[in-house]
Amino acid sequence: MVGTPPHLERGTGVPAHVQIERWLLESISRGDLAPGDRLPGERELAGRLGVSRMTLRQALATLERDGVLLRVPGRAGGAFVAEPRIECDLTGLAGFTEQMRRAHLRAEARILAARTVPATGAVARALEVEAGAPVHEVARVRSAGLSPVALERSYFPDLPGLLGQDLTGSLYTLLATRYDLAPHTAVEHLDPVIARAEDAAELGIAPGAPLMLIERTAYAVDGTPVEFARDLFRPDRVRLTVRSGVTVRSGVTGPAGS
């Protein structure tokens, strides 16, 4: 629970709402407040701090924007400490399971669908098969910590026995060990989207909430496409990172990809 409120200093040039933000951040870093903890009500907390509710709301709004707090409307709602966002580095070709291992979290999967379906036009083009050809679809909700963080929908070539395997772990490891089709390179596109009702229900968020769509085609070392995926990530739970470097081509040094 939140500790003793600080004595807010006046005339220092640091606005009161910024001092409140710093105090709450320090309380979280010390462990006085843990993910899921509810802050006192606005009236109570503003009174203990000796500020107006407007000043307090300014501090809470900033922390909500930064993903530190989650504010839930309604009588049973309030301001709650959010789980820290998970860093996912898209620079390499690490799957969700490996990304969570790097973050010292246990990845979990809830399978929504595992079936053979006719390839749509987009899937067929990505996997380089005929439209309508059989492909395997695997849809999973991925979780780490207390809440879902991503909804994965992947399509694979018609690999024999794939759907009979354990699909709750790393599918990339499965492709590598059973089929000798380890993903080696990928092309990914990122687009901000709005959660549809059915996706929101699976991710535990409100319909219309922002999501980040990652559309990916992964290839084996010989260039064979092995996966086409459309993954939806919760930006309040995951922070996506892409690292860039410098290449030298024909004596010219510049950013990679320029």
Buried b (16+ CB within 10 A) or exposed e, 164-177: eeebeebbbebbbe
Cα distances (Å, whole numbers) of residue 24 to 19, 37, 61, 163, 256: 9, 12, 13, 48, 40
Beta strands in the chain (DSSP E): 69-72, 78-81, 86-89, 108-118, 134-144, 147-156, 185-194, 210-219, 225-233, 238-241, 246-249, 252-255
How many C-alpha atoms does 58 have within 13 Å on its Cβ side?
A: 11
Taking residues 144-162, report their average pLDDT.
Answer: 90
Report d(CA 39, CA 222) in Å as an integer: 54
Residue 131 has pLDDT above 70, yes or no: yes
SS3 (DSSP) at 200: helix
Q: Which CATH number fits domain 16-81: 1.20.58.1180, 1.10.150.170, 1.10.10.10, 1.10.760.10?
A: 1.10.10.10
Taking residues 1-6, report their average pLDDT.
Answer: 66
Residue 86 has pLDDT above 90, yes or no: no
Residue 1 has pLDDT above 60, yes or no: no
Residue 227 has pLDDT above 60, yes or no: yes
211's torsion region: left (phi>0), alpha (psi -120 to 50) or beta?
beta
Q: What percent of the chain has pLDDT over 70?
A: 87
Closest by CA to 216, choosing from 122, 136, 99, is 122
Q: Give the model confidence (pLDDT) of 191-209 as tens digits.
A: 999 999 999 999 988 899 8
Report d(CA 230, CA 123) in Å as an integer: 10
**235's tokens:** 């930006």
Residue 226 has pLDDT above 90, yes or no: yes
- In the numeric block, the tokens 């999501």 are attached to 211
Band (43; pLDDT cuts 50, 70, 90): very high
Q: Give the model confidence (pLDDT) of 108-119 as tens digits.
A: 889 999 999 999
Using an 8 Å Cβ cutoff, are 166 and 195 in contact? no
**pLDDT for 145:** 66
User: Which architecture does CATH list for 86-241?
Assistant: 3-Layer(aba) Sandwich (3.40)
Domain positions in the chain: 16-81, 86-241
Residue with the bigger pLDDT between 134 and 97: it is: 134
